[in-house]
Structure 1
Amino acid sequence: MSSTEANRVTDHPRQKKSKMVDSALDPVQEDRIPADILTKVNRVLQPFLLSHSQLVTVSSRLMMDMHRGLGKHSHRLAPVKMLPTFVQATPDGTEKGDFLALDLGGTNFRVLHVSIQAGGVGVATMDCEICEIPQEIMEGTGTQLFDHIAECVSHFLDSKPQLGSQTLPLGFTFSFACEQKEIDKCFLIRWTKGFRCSGVEGKDVVKLLRDAIHRRGDYDIGSIAMVNDTVGTMMSCGFGKQNCEIGMIIGTGTNACYMEEMRNVHRVHGNDGVMCINTEWGGLGDDGALDDLLTEFDRELDRQSINPGVHTFEKMISGMYLGELVRLVLLRLTEEQLLFGGGAGPLGTRETFETRFLSQIEEVDAGLQNAHLILSSLGLSFSPVDVLVVRLVCSTISTRSARLCGAGLATLAERIRTNRGLRHLETAVGVDGTVYTKHPNFSEELQATVRLLAPSCSVTYLVSKDGSGKGAAMITAVAQRIARQLRLLEDDEEDEEDDEDQ
């Protein structure tokens, strides 16, 4: 790696050439912000600028917490939960067939028909139907909820005569906090996102779904595989790219999964093979491990949140919080008479500066024009210098997010490499989430950080398309393939025993 690339991770965002190309609207340049203002602004932004050594520290602390999370007893207090998913293989290209997929994670849920063609040819979402979950069902009983889901699946199947009377296997993306015991046994820990259905917490979600389908009696489903959306992202990219062993989401929230050696998963019996681990890395720092990296703005955001002290790493990275962090910084600069003539206007109200504004303001060609439009829509009185300062603040905070996420990803890649005793690892990561896909500079900054912190790993980035749907079907298909292989192996062993008896 060149010294130039190594230095990138300690440079201020305004110095990055990738963001400093010539355009009709000049990007942020130091000589366009008066020196006295720039000095004071930089003093406020300085805590967001992470050095190489700080990123290495983040990586080493994550690695330590991963060890704790995998431990048979230590996992109970580990902030990084390292949840076994019971997904024990990635696609090998032989998977095929028709599958149903359910995606439940909010006020709407989706029913999908997914077709997989063998030979790594492709995964197609053939049909998709969005079903609303009324408020009274979200706050009713578990029986009402799963009866509603079963009814929607029945309606979907009735509208697809080409499926005939097939009993299709099903992948179920259930985006709530769960403890998974097997691929088809998943117990809800607690509801979030406005759901309060009684009689579900502590119960096996798969059984509740099967019971609802049996109560109807007008159709049946085959095997069920429970899916985490991060795992679905990895698996949806793994078909035709067999070294895709990491999944990462950077959107409203952030999380990652990877393939871990079974000998290290002490919470599950068995030492052979691998298993996908849902890291839940958003909890890194919930025990204070990142306190030395938190700015005063991070602490204020946490105090104002609905879950203080929880998801520390996520609050420094994800789309739910980036806009609010920018607002808090802009508010401080305004109070110090460095912005908007000291008039805060709507910036005094929480969540008025949306995360999507960062992506729009940091666009290379239209960023400053977008900033004018956004600040005008907020009713702020601003100068040309104010626009440049706002863009600098957005760039600083999005860059920290990308570098922290890159440090986490580098940790997972290094974990896989060292687990296998390799000098060099070639792997792929399936990625999803609007922060990664929509922000103009995020992916570039993240990838540069991974190259810096994991120089012995060559990582390919695959953007997932519908990981919650296609990935759920793929996990089901892989589970079926493994089950078939095990049955064939058992049949072979029985044949050998019969031959010995004769």
Structure 2
Amino acid sequence: MSTTSELTRLREFLNELIPSEDQLVRLYQNFCAQIRKGLGSKTNKDASTKCYLTYVQDFPTGNETGKYLALDLGGSKFRVLLIHLKGDSEAEQITKIYDLTERELHSTGVELFDYIAKCLHEFVCEQKVDNEHMPLGFTFSFPCVQTGLSRATLVRWTKGFNCSDTVGEDIGLMLKAAIARRPGLRIDMVAILNDTTGTQMSCAHRNPSCHIGLIVGTGCNACYTEKVENCERLDSKYKDKPKIIINVEWGAFGEKGGVDHLFTDYDRNVDQNSINRGSQIFEKMVSGMYMGELVRLILLRAVNENLVFAQCKLRKHITDILTKKPHCIETKVLSDIANDRGDDWPLVKDVFKQVFNLNNADPDDCMKFKFICDVVVKRSGNMIGVTLSGLVNKVGESFSVIGVDGTVYRCHPNFDGYMRETLDRFVDKDYKYDMMLSEDGSGRGAALVAAVVHRDYMERKSLNAKLRQ
């Protein structure tokens, strides 16, 4: 059994990963300052959170009907969806997943989008809707600067993509051109959005009070509904509508120093060994892509300081693996073991067997490992809760729903609670909030944007017809 002094030493060792109230207050203040900078026309260039304009200004009512397509591109696979909206917030969907090989990931932009258009054509033929004129919403989860609802200039590729002749180009025009090169393909791409916007729109379809979208998965980002008068960079022609969704791109928060007071040597190590050193600092502290690696680094130091596995015969073997095998601890492990407790620790022992080939692990070491994992996850949830609080207060509605998607949020049983801990402390007392799990936000949300655009088009067409009479 671990002695009280051993547990005290471990808690003290992990103390730098447990933010104090003062540190969280400073995080809140820094984040809100970056949002103000991101919205300003003169200060945007100095902001780490760029607050990209999405040009999504119309929201679902739940009464939308008809068939719409969605394309979801954000990794080494992409999805094509056919969504049948039936009113009363009801929808049916058919989804097909397509693989992208190394060839497509590192091809030219023309080759990539020609392949996507080919798959789109196959899909509509399989679903026997190839003779219908189909509006399409395009979820494109890479950093872009949008200049209109269906126009977006790629800032940089991430997630292993490196297609030539695309950075600085209009992704919307490239997809439209690829569709035009496919004879008989009657698809009209009407909107580009990222996965956070899709998540917000998907949840707004069920609850119109959804003013914020959040992704906590491999990456982490958020969007929210802003008043147009606060968007200095928005052209006046778009200010006839009261609101617009802002893509915060908060993964980059910290690139200007906003999280330095929480940045540990573990975080510094993760950043230095990443492919985008110095970028996406907040994301590297809170998202699924990096939490497992943070645990590996913390565990390695804890072993070296005789805090864990001090009596284990395989201690040197464990140290060698932790030293020589980056990413040997996957983030999903943190979710898998979250409910493991008691004397036997079967789930933690299974992790030790898989990673270290260690059988019959000491229950005390199991407890300590789980504690390390919990500290990393709780820091993430608490930090995200603080930044979410800034958005809830910025929205300024008496009640806001936060639509959430992503594997970390879906899979870790305590993550929702960790976010609420700091949300409850930092959300203004005049405002209430709740969280809603998204139903396939990146897919269904894209189709809903297409539906809303189509609805707006038909309403304007009807109004113009009446004016001509």
Classify the TM-score, shorter chain.
over 0.9
1:387 corresponds, among 360, 366, 369, to: 366
Between 1:425-434 and 1:473-482, the stretch displaced more is: 473-482
**CA 1:487/1:73 → structure 2, altered by over 3 Å: closer, same or farther?**
farther
Q: Is 1:480–2:454 an aligned residue pair?
A: yes
* Post-superposition offset of 1:164: 5.3
- Alignment of 1:291 with 2:274, yes or no, is no
How well do the aligned residues superpose, as a CA RMSD in angstroms? Answer: 1.9
Q: Secondary structure at the residue paired with 1:249?
A: strand
Aligned partner (choices 71, 79, 100) of residue 133 of structure 1? 100
Which of 245, 249, 255 in structure 1 is aligned with 2:221?
A: 255
Distance in 2 of aligned mates of 1:164 and 1:83: 34
Offset, 1:194: 2.8
Match of 1:65 among 9, 34, 37: 34
| Pairing of 1:55-454 with structure 2 (within 5 A) | 55-120=24-89, 122-125=90-93, 127-161=94-128, 163=129, 165-270=131-236, 271=239, 272-341=241-310, 342-343=315-316, 344-348=319-323, 349-364=325-340, 368-377=345-354, 378-380=356-358, 382-417=361-396, 425-454=398-427
Distance 1:391 1:446 in 2: 19
Q: Distance in 1 between matches of 2:284 and 2:105?
A: 27
Distance 1:149 1:276 in 2: 27
Amino acid at match of 2:357: G
SS in 1 for 2:181: helix
Partners of 1:86 and 1:183 within 8 A in 2: yes
1:251–1:223 Cα change, 3 Å? closer
Counterparts in 2 of 1:374 and 1:230: CA distance versus 1, 3 Å: same
TM-score by structure 1 length?
A: 0.86
Q: Is contact 1:345-1:379 (8 Å) kept?
A: no
Q: Are 2:57 and 2:245, in contact at CA under 8 Å, matched by a contact in 1?
A: yes
Structure 1 unaligned regions, length at least 5: 1-31
TM, length-normalised to structure 2: 0.92
Measured against aligned partners, the alpha-carbon deviations of 1:361-388 in whole angstroms (never above 9, x if no partner) come to: 2215589221111112222474222111
Contact 2:340-2:346 at 8 Å conserved across structures: no
Task: Structure 2 unaligned segments of length 5 or more: list them.
Answer: none
Query: Contact 2:142/2:157 (CA < 8 Å) preserved in 1?
Result: yes
Task: Verify the 8 A CA contact 1:229 1:468 in the aligned structure 2.
Answer: yes
Query: SS at the partner of 1:190?
Result: coil
Partner of 1:19: none
Larger mean Cα displacement after TM superposition, 210-219 or 351-360: 210-219
| Contact 2:131-2:186 at 8 Å conserved across structures | no
Q: What is the SS of the residue equivalent to 1:239?
A: helix
Cα–Cα, structure 1 residues 240 and 39, in superposed 2: closer, same or farther, change >3 Å? closer
Bigger mean CA deviation after superposition, 482-491 or 398-407: 482-491
* Letter matched to residue 321 of structure 2: P
Query: What is the aligned residue count?
Result: 455
CA contact (8 A) 1:85 1:183 kept: yes
Paired letter, 1:157: V
Q: In 1, are the aligned partners of 2:31 and 2:258 still within 8 Å (CA)?
A: no
Deviates more, 1:399-408 or 1:128-137: 128-137
Identity across matched positions, percent:
36
- State the 1:402 CA deviation: 0.6
Equivalent residue letter for 1:400? R
